[in-house]
Structure 1
């Protein structure tokens, strides 16, 4: 048996929720290892829909342990609100089914405000990133700036005031520069004091917990958020998130060694979408793009923002396969392509007359590349609910095989509807 890392291979929103749900049923522990509450997914269990943005998916399944690792930035108010919302749906979150890393960084109100100040200023200057204004980036900045307030600090009121002073020395200088009102020491202390009693019972030494469970043979599922092309290093910078989203972060963001990761499953949508600003070589601003958006219900789980849609970009996913060390992919939303006369797949780009087999790192070049397409015949039959290869039209199978060949990774799972059982299993990641 092996542990499994789930990562998005595009710009996020690839349909990880359904796949993670299917895998979490068979895992013992589900670990979030990066990001914050700026991304999310929907799980449907026994007809009940659960919308999660910070809590790992294992928390809604009896007998599973959900873990929020040190690589996650945690808004304690958002965490408490999410737990309370689940309680109303009959899911009780306790230390028996949730643990939070003691060394995880907290998102505070000043982070959310700074996120908004900057985005508003950027909107006026044409440099807007398209953040969710949830304070994710500023919290990560404080983490690497070594002035963050961490979960463990909630339990040490003797040392907390000095840490808040250090944090405010930085933030109030920024607020003065932006022409905003400074924040008082008492306001932050009150904010932290108001959540301490709700958060501290879940605190644990997560790396040690996971190491012990691994040695006992527990199946561990590492659950990523966002997608590879939003990675702070490997994505379409600066239009990215503020953390590493690639599979290697599962080790750093949980405290487990890379040798513990096992199977890397890349969730891959059968076409391409992205939310927010930034380059998108295969974007379709026409009736086909509209068709994909409407058929695929392309709206963000957390923000409700409409997603931009385009043809499948094999060149981008090929990069993701390399950056993550992807073992196999879960290809989702194949059914959205039903009924199209023809389908296009981007296999390379052209830039200033030269052909490139990858997306360059330069922001200017990313904005200037043009996709090189191959065209495949579409299919009129429905693929919705297919649970075996025999249920698929011949042209749909041809499309899947072409994707496999172009990205250099096999399809391990094929999803043909939002329903969890409408999945064709080729390779079981936990048994590979």
Structure 2
């Protein structure tokens, strides 16, 4: 069985929470795109784990994790992430972590370029809100064929790799010195860096596509983990304020290394309200006062898992969510952080947008979205703790009403509801997985 877990909105929907739960029944968890520019937070007892590159399944001892073909991998960051988990007693070996030989390496200069360009754009207020971790530049060089893939580290003693390294470095030094007046990088330093990464990761690098094909043939349960959400997809998101990869479930098998493999299920993850990290149109934040948003941000601890940046927040946005659901083609929906709304006497929901006097029901990221205003409906809150609820019937009537209002606006049932950060703080209804 092949299941993808994807974000319906701007990312930070709580996918890590859902993946961690589903990983209990999975054999393999695969990250299929993105890099270390976002993260998943998983709470296990008193421990909180922030994972930027490693799949959430790494916290389960019987699960094998894969970093797939479609990723860009910062090996220095991966080293730190592995060391941090080992420090908490999580074993990581070539048996439970496999790195695709086709995955792209985020080279040392990619972070440098990202930082320099974002700083340049900030001067006139046109920055993209980048995490400055080099993701866009790694993907750019992937498509320009001017970077390495992980499998190349296994062949550093061969002449053709040296020729490519010289070509790449010459081109990069011309960019960095000519555009940003930086000191050129040296070839010996670059080769030394590559040799260090090869020594650390050679045992982990393999043909993960073959590994996954064999696993599916043996009827293993494989879970595909997306980074970010539909609004950050390079093709279907709020371009240019997107990530540089495809966050869409249909890309999952391709980015995992098993193109053509059919998905059994797509789990789309929604948050019970709207959040966004980074620049770009975000109509939901226009709906409420600054004090309302500050209260929600504190209640939900809405700060980026990768960067610590405060997230932009607003009410649940049915217009954007319908679009994200369409993009992801989800047959299951997980709703997270319902408990965060428990203190509210009244809860707003965005039902449509207004453009001057025109009512907008459909989300179109190719339109000018800056002049859209949200239209909200108010539903009554429940104002009581729901973190102890383990069945739908145990929820207060107004909490059920809130869920059912969202279901009606999306024309889709919600099967999973998170009522707290702990592993056991959730409930299901209808046909789950």
Q: Same fold (TM over 0.5)?
A: yes
The correspondence of residues 98-113 of structure 1 with structure 2, limited to 5 A, is 98-113=97-112
What corresponds to 2:204 in structure 1?
202
Q: TM-score, length-normalised on structure 2?
A: 0.95
What corresponds to 1:82 in structure 2?
81
What corresponds to 1:403 in structure 2?
406
**Change beyond 3 A, Cα 1:417–1:46:** closer
Cα deviation per residue 1:390-429 (whole Å; 9 max; x = unaligned)? 2211111011011111123211100001111111112565
The correspondence of residues 288-299 of structure 1 with structure 2, limited to 5 A, is 288-299=292-303
Q: The residue matched to 2:369 in structure 1 has which SS?
A: helix
Name the CA distance, whole Å, in 2 between partners of 1:357 and 1:145: 39
For residue 41 of structure 1, report the CA deviation from its aligned partner: 1.5
Q: 2:185 matched to 1:186? A: no
Name the CA distance, whole Å, in 1 between partners of 2:289 and 2:278: 15
Aligned counterpart in structure 2 of residue 354 of structure 1, from 348, 355, 358:
358
Q: The residue matched to 1:35 in structure 2 has which SS?
A: coil
Q: 2:114 matched to 1:115? A: yes
For residue 48 of structure 1, report the CA deviation from its aligned partner: 3.1
Larger mean Cα displacement after TM superposition, 277-286 or 41-50: 41-50
What corresponds to 2:369 in structure 1?
366
The correspondence of residues 268-287 of structure 1 with structure 2, limited to 5 A, is 268-283=270-285, 284-287=288-291
Name the CA distance, whole Å, in 1 between partners of 2:261 and 2:152: 31
Q: The residue matched to 2:70 in structure 1 has which SS?
A: coil
What corresponds to 1:160 in structure 2?
161
Cα deviation per residue 1:236-291 (whole Å; 9 max; x = unaligned)? 11111111111112111012245432111111000001112111101144221111
What corresponds to 1:26 in structure 2?
25
For residue 13 of structure 1, report the CA deviation from its aligned partner: 1.0
Q: TM-score, length-normalised on structure 1?
A: 0.96
Name the CA distance, whole Å, in 2 between partners of 1:385 and 1:120: 47
5+ residue gaps, structure 2? none
**Change beyond 3 A, Cα 1:127–1:285:** farther
Larger mean Cα displacement after TM superposition, 390-399 or 159-168: 159-168
Name the CA distance, whole Å, in 2 between partners of 1:211 and 1:74: 22
Partners of 1:34 and 1:225 within 8 A in 2: yes
For residue 31 of structure 1, report the CA deviation from its aligned partner: 0.3
**Change beyond 3 A, Cα 1:428–1:61:** farther
Partners of 2:266 and 2:331 within 8 A in 1: yes
For residue 360 of structure 1, report the CA deviation from its aligned partner: 2.4
**Stretches of 4+ moved more than 6 A in 1?**
none
Cα deviation per residue 1:64-84 (whole Å; 9 max; x = unaligned)? 100110111001111111111
Cα deviation per residue 1:162-218 (whole Å; 9 max; x = unaligned)? 111222233222211222222222221111111111111111111111111001000
Name the CA distance, whole Å, in 2 between partners of 1:317 and 1:22: 23
What corresponds to 2:248 in structure 1?
246
Q: The residue matched to 2:362 in structure 1 has which SS?
A: coil
What corresponds to 1:332 in structure 2?
336
Q: 2:313 matched to 1:312? A: no
